[in-house]
Amino acid sequence: MKVQDLITRLGLTVHSGKEGLEREVTGGYTSDLLSDVMGHAKEGDAWVTLQTHKNIMAIASLKDLAAIIVVKGHVPEEDTTAESEKEGIPILTTREETFEITGRLYELLKSEQIV
């Protein structure tokens, strides 16, 4: 499943990093502790978080995550957005809360037998 498919199926908004919409999604991870994400997220995960600090991009890049989904209508900071464009890793946004979007992401990936 591509990032573009997530956007369509989950009704997400592309905030930045359009170049990466063809990246392959192979799992999901939900956490707001960046130390935890750094330690436990896996390559190809779509990461759900409410953090908007530019360190989220550094970690997405380090872990080679497929995309970041920022919840509750939070708007990523300018330098975060710039990093997303530079790295080609998409930041997607939703007005939904972490609980809802994580549930829907899980159901979607499960229905596609990805997780």
Residues forming contacts to another protein in the complex (CB under 8 A) are 32-38, 51, 53-55, 58-59, 77
Q: How far is the CB of 69 from another protein (least distance, A)?
A: 18
Q: How far is the CB of 88 from another protein (least distance, A)?
A: 20
10 Å Cβ neighbour count for 9?
15
Closer of 74 and 104 to another protein (Cβ):
74
Q: How far is the CB of 107 from another protein (least distance, A)?
A: 29
Closer of 1 and 58 to another protein (Cβ):
58
Q: Is 88 left (phi over 0), alpha (psi -120 to 50) or beta?
A: left
Cα dihedral across residues 14, 67, 54, 34: positive or negative: positive
